[in-house]
Amino acid sequence: MPPVRFLVVEDHEQYQQFICSSLGKRNELQIVGVASDGLDAVHKAVQLHPDFILLDIGLPTINGIEAARRISELVPESKILFLSMESDPEIVQEALSVGAVGYLAKAFLGSDLLAAVDAVIHGMQFVRLPDRMSNSQFDRQVPDRPRSVDVLGTPLPGETD
């Protein structure tokens, strides 16, 4: 099988390096591009047609949600997984409503990045937020997702294949 191709969009260099290093540990994952602002993300998505885009929300030029809207229109085959410091329920819901397949709070990058990537590669939604929020409150509000997963990548209670 060909490697799964990723575009990493992150404006903080330390996060960008960590994400790229984590993905680089797996041969089946290939980073095809890196961007540090929203407009560059849109341009690189159109140019590279990655399988997945790991996208921050707080970006220069245009924010990640607006970038995701544009990417979803221009490159609908690319799947988007948000990685963000934002955990406000309205922002998370808006991010998921633009067609993202998942949302991972950056607080969990070290523990859950690869689990999130594996889940979305296998067609599942992945949402991991701080404990003060319900990670499953967004599941039924996201259209056209085959099923949802908890932080371990297993189906949530009440979800079936």
Has residue 88 been placed in a domain?
yes
Contact 105, 88 (CB under 8 A): no
Provide the CATH number for the domain around residue 78: 3.40.50.2300
Mean pLDDT of 145-159: 40
What's the confidence (pLDDT) of residue 130?
86
What proportions of the chain, in percent to the nearest 5, are helix, strand and coil? Answer: 40, 20, 40
Tens of pLDDT, residues 7-65: 999 999 999 999 999 999 999 999 999 999 999 999 999 999 999 999 999 999 999 99
Q: 126 falls in which pLDDT band (50, 70, 90)? A: very high
In a domain, 104, yes or no: yes
The reported pLDDT for the residue numbered 153 is 44
Cα–Cα distance measured from residue 157 to residue 27, given in angstroms and rounded to the nearest whole number: 32
Residue 160, in any domain of the structure: no
Is residue 121 one of the residues assigned to a domain?
yes
Whether 155 maps to a domain, the answer reads no
Cα(69)–Cα(63) distance, integer angstroms? 10
What pLDDT does 76 receive?
96
Q: Does 95 reside within a domain?
A: yes
Average pLDDT score over the chain: 85
The tens digit of pLDDT for each residue in 88-97 reads 889 999 999 9
Mean pLDDT of 72-79: 96
pLDDT at 161 over 50: no
**What pLDDT sits at residue 131?**
67
Q: Is residue 156 part of a domain?
A: no
DSSP state of 161: -
Residue numbers of the domain that contains 47: 4-149
Q: How many domains does one find in the chain?
A: 1
Position 120 scores a pLDDT of 93
Q: How far apart are CA 136 and CA 118, in angstroms?
A: 18
- Does 85 reside within a domain? yes
> Residue 20: is it exposed, middle or buried by C-beta count within 10 angstroms (0-12/13-18/19+)?
middle
